[in-house]
Amino acid sequence: MQHTTPAHALGIDFGTSNSTAGWHRPGVPSLLALEGERITLPSVVFFNAEERRPVYGRLALQEYLEGYEGRLMRSLKSLLGSKLIKHDTSVLGTAMPFKDLLGLFIGELKKRAESSAGRAFEQVVLGRPVFFVDDDPAADQEAQDTLEAVARKVGFKDVSFQYEPLAAAFDYESGINGEELVLIVDIGGGTSDFSLVRLAPERHFDNDRQQDILATGGVHIGGTDFDKQLNVQGVMPLFGYGSRMKSQALMPTSYHLNLATWHTINAVYAQKSQLALANMRYDIEDTLGIDRLFRLIEQRAGHWLAMEVEASKIELTEVTHRNIDLTRIEPNLSVDLTRELFEASINGLLERVRGGVTELLAQAGVAAGQVDTVFFTGGSSSIPALRQSVAALLPQARHVEGDNFGSIGSGLAIEARRRYG
């Protein structure tokens, strides 16, 4: 049954890289403007030390890059299911629990959605990955419970969840003409999620769709992992990654891995970390790389470099190479990142994605030839090697590209209408 009045509830896609909020209204696109006219809000908080205030989204990135003093926090969703969520972090000179940091961002999402919609929302369907944590049901449940508690604390009274790939499936279903067996491949910033769903336009507004969901699965791999591999393999060798100690052992990799991972970059700036590096310098054969690493740390340029690597990953979906100018670290220093290097660096991750899809088909008892459509969504689903990798498993299925940043949010708005009217 087609609805003729606006929904009561909100659908929120809190993403690792970008977030959206959807409100289902007849004949109107669901997604609400969250930053100017834009429907996405990058999942970023910058604590501006000079003005002592939090800034969100694109403005947060802009202020950080303009050189304001402060603390930049990205990939906030990755905190869910991690040990960090039970700890504090230093923000503007005081200790802030990571849970409160999540609350700041989710609260800001709610406030902006309400401002855009011109009304308040007390009910929400939140998207969630199929697994916040792989192979640990208790930790996975704890991650969902944490997110629910955060949502309630910022003012939502009724909170429920839907798997993100299923939300994308319901968005896709709103535009098809006949029944299809569809594999949803959702490659987000933090996870790769899969669902095998039977879709049909006549069942679009049915309240119970359980019998149409053949299987759900996923692996804890996403865009930030692809960034990390490109950073470690392509950039970090310039900063001492792979350097030999005088004992012929390799230099410890933890510093480079932390610099290539959004939510651990600040750990490298800590005094304890810098002292350990300074002591290590005496034992390194060729100090060129570690000296560059010191300059990068001195400039606190880790987030800037991570953004450059992320931009390279995005551009390498269209072009075969991209150059990063590193003259701020050393005169005439640069690095040329190629698609070939990128694909080689993520091959192990793609192997796990393929394994996840294969396992899903086996779980559903469905042969590859029975799948009509592969629906790609999520910000990292446009990586050519990833698409080719999945396509090779399902050569007979047609491939459809969703809105990489909007399909899940639109589907969650549909689900919010179903559940709360």
Q: Kindly state the average pLDDT of the residues 332-351.
A: 97
pLDDT at 244 over 60: yes
Q: In whole angstroms, give the CA distance from residue 411 to residue 22.
A: 8
**Average pLDDT over every residue of 137-142:** 91
Residue 73 is predicted with a pLDDT of 87
The Cα–Cα gap between 360 and 368 comes to 11
| The predicted structure's pLDDT at residue 247 | 93
134: which DSSP letter? Answer: T
Number of neighbours of residue 86 by Cβ within 10 angstroms: 12
Residue 228 clears pLDDT 60, i.e. is over it: yes
Average pLDDT over residues 350-372: 95
The pLDDT of residue 30 is above 80 = yes
Tokens at 136, concatenated: 């640990």
- Distance CA(407)–CA(186), nearest Å, equals 10
Give burial (CB, 10 Å; 0-12/13-18/19+) of 138.
exposed
288-298 and 302-315 are packed helices; what angle lies between their axes, rounded to 10 degrees? 100
- Whats the size of the chain, residue-wise? 421
d(CA 215, CA 366): 10
CATH superfamily of 10-177+403-420: ATPase, nucleotide binding domain (3.30.420.40)
The Cα–Cα gap between 97 and 21 comes to: 25
Residue range 143-191, pLDDT digits in tens: 999 999 999 999 999 999 999 888 888 888 888 999 999 999 999 888 8
Please give the pLDDT value at position 51: 83
Say what the pTM is. 0.86
How many percent of the chain have pLDDT more than 70? 99
Q: How confident is the model at residue 2 (pLDDT cuts 50, 70, 90)?
A: low
Query: Mean pLDDT, to the nearest integer, of 129-147?
Result: 89
Q: Which three-class secondary structure state does DSSP give residue 112?
A: helix
Average pLDDT value for the chain: 92
- Quote the pLDDT of residue 134: 79
CATH 3.30.420.40 in the chain is located at: 10-177+403-420
Rounded to the nearest 10 degrees, the angle between the axes of helix 223-230 and helix 347-364 is: 150
What is the percent of the chain where pLDDT is above 90?
70
Give yes or no for residue 117 having a pLDDT over 70: yes
**pLDDT tens readout for residues 61-113:** 999 888 888 888 888 898 888 888 888 888 888 888 889 999 999 999 999 99
**pLDDT tens digits, 286-339:** 999 999 999 999 999 999 999 999 999 999 999 999 999 999 999 999 999 999
133: left (phi over 0), alpha (psi -120 to 50) or beta: beta
Instruction: Report the range out of 18-22, 216-220, 265-269 with the highest average pLDDT.
Output: 18-22
| Per-residue model confidence (pLDDT) at position 380 | 87
Q: Is the pLDDT of residue 1 over 60?
A: no
Q: pLDDT at position 3, please?
A: 61
Mean pLDDT, residues 222-232? 95
